[in-house]
């Protein structure tokens, strides 16, 4: 239900579904080149949500950054909401930052994902565990 890339020693885990998760593997490589222990968990199935697989994949995460090409009405992406729900009450305390990316048919590049992940890391180092959903490379015109 999920696949993992470089998560064995990862402190920061990038996650998403489909093509954005695949692009995140390149972003994780870029982050590792800069000294950030990053990995990726790709979610293959949304319904039924694979909460047990997700809990296992994220049990060692120090921080989670969710990238998705969808948004649920008025809040955040559906994957981000489901992930928070699946981890609630499990003892997994990693902060989760969500990014909605590429709406309107825009491409999302690995360097953009890596930059967003670094921005989240900077926010976390400044003590900001919670963060509103951030829009990344979306057509708003």
DSSP, res 30: H
Are the C-beta atoms of 133 and 75 separated by less than 8 Å? Answer: yes
In degrees rounded to 5, what are phi and psi of residue 134? -110, 140
How many other β-carbons are positioned within 10 Å of the β-carbon of residue 103? Answer: 17
CATH code for the part of the protein at 2-136: 3.40.50.920
- pLDDT tens digits for 41-54? 999 999 999 999 99
- The pTM score is 0.93
Q: Are strands 38-43 and 12-16 parallel, antiparallel or unpaired?
A: parallel
- pLDDT tens digits for 55-79? 999 999 999 999 999 887 767 899 9
């Amino acid at each position: 239900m999920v696949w993992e890339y470089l998560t064995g020693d990862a402190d920061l885990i990038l996650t998403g579904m489909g093509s954005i998760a695949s692009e995140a593997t390149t972003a994780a490589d870029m982050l590792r080149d800069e000294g950030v222990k990053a990995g990726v968990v790709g979610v293959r199935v949304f319904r039924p949500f694979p909460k047990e697989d997700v809990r296992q994949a994220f049990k060692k995460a120090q921080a989670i950054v969710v990238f998705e090409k969808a948004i649920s009405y008025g809040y955040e992406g559906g994957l981000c909401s489901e992930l928070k729900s699946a981890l609630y009450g499990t003892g997994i305390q990693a902060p989760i930052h969500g990014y909605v990316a590429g709406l309107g048919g825009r491409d999302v590049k690995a360097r953009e994902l890596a930059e967003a992940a670094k921005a989240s890391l900077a926010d976390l180092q400044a003590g900001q565990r919670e963060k509103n959903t951030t829009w990344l490379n979306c057509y708003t015109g």
